[in-house]
């Protein structure tokens, strides 16, 4: 039995005052929202403050990135131990924006995934194809490779403590969502390569209007939500759609 999960990725948005207001509204609703785990992945500078605000609430927080190194002369980087010290629960790794803009290779993503696990946190591993790759019929090949490099390093059993997110690059922040059938096809392909209990999220322009149809798909266990996670009402509506999954 997989518990549905909805994770917000705030990306590089927010400020202390706005975060507080947003989280107050989300916490108010999530306190009584059963059957779905809700997570917010916030920018590094706000981690401590968010951890304080969310203590003793049902809303869980995570980070959006980390260093693959444990410590040392890596100016500007943040380690897994630093995140764990704040009781961080989830860390996004392999987001396409990091692969695209910061040159993160599959090997670096695999090392980050291992670093998260080593500190007892859960990686949210993102995989997904570009539009060029989809049009060339390479979707399965691309996501299989991205996943396999991680499993080669950490083993399939590691997925007991991890979440997978299928995020077609062409659907992220574009307003263009994969159809439920397109998402399900890739999720089913991934399902065959992970554990039955592995939670597989869909990410890419999920909104209150399309969430229920996506989450109704058999192998879509929730969502990784970018833009819509910045609007409390939208994020909650999406969480409710996941709650009613099945
Ligand atoms: C994301 O950032 O992971 C994402 C899915 O963004 P959006 O929902 O805005 O497409």
Task: Work out the angle between the directed axes of helices 47-54 and 16-30 (0-180°, nearest 10).
Answer: 30
| Residue pLDDT, tens place only, 212-242 | 999 999 999 999 999 999 999 999 999 999 9
Residue 234 Cβ contacting ligand 1 at under 6 Å: no
What does the pLDDT average to over 21-35? 96
Q: Whose CA is nearest to atom 3 of ligand 1?
A: 226
Which ligand 1 atom sits nearest the alpha carbon of residue 96? 3
DSSP 115-159: HHHHTT-EEEEEE---HHHHHTT-HHHHHHHHHHHHHHHH-GGGG
CB 5 within 8 A of CB 221: yes
| Residues annotated as part of the active site | 95, 167
Residue 9 Cβ contacting ligand 1 at under 6 Å: yes
The burial class, CB within 10 Å (0-12 / 13-18 / 19+), for 159 is buried
| Calpha distance 93→116 (Å, rounded) | 9
| Calpha distance 106→109 (Å, rounded) | 5
Q: Whose CA is nearest to atom 7 of ligand 1?
A: 226
| Calpha distance 211→10 (Å, rounded) | 18
pTM of the model: 0.97
Domains present along the chain, CATH in parentheses: 5-245 (3.20.20.70)
Residue 204 Cβ contacting ligand 1 at under 6 Å: yes
Distances in Å between the alpha carbon of 91 and those of 29, 35, 100? Answer: 23, 22, 18
| Phi then psi dihedrals of residue 90, to 5 deg | -125, 150
Residue 239 Cβ contacting ligand 1 at under 6 Å: no
Q: Whose CA is nearest to atom 4 of ligand 1?
A: 226
| Residue pLDDT, tens place only, 172-218 | 988 888 999 999 999 999 999 999 999 999 999 999 999 999 999 99
What does the pLDDT average to over 114-130? 98
pLDDT band, very low/low/confident/very high, at 22 (cuts 50, 70, 90): very high
Report the mean per-residue pLDDT for the chain: 96
CA–centroid distance, residue 63 to ligand 1 (Å): 15
pLDDT value at position 158? 98
């Amino acid at each position: 039995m997989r518990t549905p999960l909805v994770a917000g990725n705030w990306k590089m948005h927010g400020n202390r005052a706005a975060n507080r207001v947003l989280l107050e509204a989300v916490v108010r609703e999530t306190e009584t929202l059963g059957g779905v785990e809700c997570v917010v992945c916030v920018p590094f500078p706000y981690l401590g403050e968010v951890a304080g605000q969310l203590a003793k609430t049902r809303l869980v927080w995570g980070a959006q990135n980390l260093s693959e190194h444990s410590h040392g002369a890596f100016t500007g980087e943040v380690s897994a131990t630093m995140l764990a010290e704040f009781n961080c629960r989830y860390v996004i790794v392999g987001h396409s924006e990091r692969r695209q803009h910061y040159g993160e290779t599959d090997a670096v993503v695999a090392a980050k995934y291992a670093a998260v696990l080593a500190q007892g946190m859960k990686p949210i591993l993102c995989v997904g194809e570009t539009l060029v790759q989809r049009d060339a019929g390479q979707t399965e090949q691309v996501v299989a490779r991205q996943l396999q490099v991680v499993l080669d390093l950490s083993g399939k059993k590691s997925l007991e403590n991890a979440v997978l997110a299928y995020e077609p690059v062409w659907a992220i922040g574009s307003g263009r969502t994969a159809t439920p059938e397109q998402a399900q096809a890739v999720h089913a392909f991934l399902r065959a390569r992970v554990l039955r209990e592995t939670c597989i999220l869909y990410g890419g322009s999920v909104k209150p209007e399309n969430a229920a149809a996506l989450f109704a798909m058999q192998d879509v266990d929730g969502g990784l939500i970018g833009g819509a996670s910045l609007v409390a009402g939208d994020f909650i509506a999406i969480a409710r759609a996941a709650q009613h999954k099945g």
